[in-house]
Amino acid sequence: MSKWRLVAAVTLVTGIALFLTWSAALPPAPRLVDQVDRPMRRESAPIIVVGVLVSDTVVRTPVPMRSDPKYPLQLRKLVVDVENVLRGAPIPEIINVYYFGFAGAFDGPRPLGFWRLGDRRILWLRRDSGVLRTACDGWDGCTEGVWSGAHVGYRPDQQNPLQFSLVDFHLTRGTGTVNKIAFATEVSWQEPTGVPGLEEYAIEKLRYLALTEQDEIKSSACGSLWLYTVDRVKLNIKRDAKDAMDAAQCRCTDSDGHCD
């Protein structure tokens, strides 16, 4: 064997050895089963965090769907920089979150994975096989975007239902750079009714935004207040919303709720 062939052979063997060593050092993929056909009610998720998405990578693909083995899924790992823990403390500052996304064509609501790195989201999670995973797979019913900035040091009031914390994140300006258009869209979002005191709480948040913000954000806050004046809600809620609109000098049309 020539000198150069000997060197090439040694290099190849060394490379294979290094690869096998590196592969053996990698943590094994968790043995998770998708829950696309068995969605978990997110309200019962034992862990809820707010964090920034750092990376989103494929762990294994394709993975046959449990309920329809002919349809492919992909197991993915999301790395999240946790900023707030709303339920389930203690949680590390950096966590790995696994979820099953679609690997084939789909037709329906927003699926998991339709986000961008750097986005801030609320995630409903649970533990399974020693790892964290989303409380849903496939369709995204267990994460929400937060466009109001970082809420450093925020701690939920344990005396109030979780929906109050969601109002805090969606209807309160945080710190850092805030995209006005995205935040304005978020402000137009409303929590479902039925939680005692929640509508009154949201109206106070919207009132403050309408008084302190400008342009698109003020317009969205006024529009959300206007909805409270025309929805089938209690008379005191309509009155509070109307008073907030008057205080902020909201100018909304009665026909479609467009506000200046």
Q: What is the three-class DSSP state of 106?
A: coil
Please check whether residues 166 and 129 belong to one and the same domain: no
The yes-or-no verdict on residue 14 having pLDDT over 70 is no
For the cut 70, the answer to whether the pLDDT of residue 252 exceeds it is: yes
Total structural domains in the chain?
2
- Are residues 96 and 138 both part of a single domain? yes
* pTM assigned to the model: 0.86
DSSP readout, 152-204?
TT----TTS-HHHHHHHHHSS--BS---HHHHHHHHT----S-STTHHHHHHH
Residues 105 and 141 placed together within one structural domain of the fold? yes
Do 114 and 59 belong together in one domain?
yes
- 47 and 116 fall within a common domain: yes
Mean predicted confidence (pLDDT) in 212-234: 91
Q: Model confidence over 187-217: pLDDT tens digits?
A: 997 666 789 999 999 999 999 999 999 999 9
Q: Does residue 23 lie in a domain region?
A: no
Q: Judge whether residue 219 has pLDDT over 80.
A: yes
User: HSE-up of 44 (CA within 13 Å, CB side)?
Assistant: 4
Q: Residue 253 CA to chain centroid, in angstroms?
A: 33
d(CA 70, CA 35): 16
Under a CB-based contact definition with an 8 Å cutoff, are residues 245 and 210 in contact? yes
Is the distance from CB of 217 to CB of 183 less than 8 angstroms? Answer: yes
For residue 221, the model assigns a pLDDT of: 96
Q: Tell me the per-residue pLDDT of 91-134, one tens digit each, with 9 for 90 and over.
A: 999 999 999 999 988 877 899 999 999 999 999 999 999 999 99
Q: Which domain holds residue 123?
A: 30-145
Whether the pLDDT of residue 26 is over 60: the answer is no
How big is the chain by its Cα radius of gyration, in Å? Answer: 24
Residue 25 in this model has a pLDDT that exceeds 60: no
The answer to whether residues 134 and 226 belong to one domain is: no
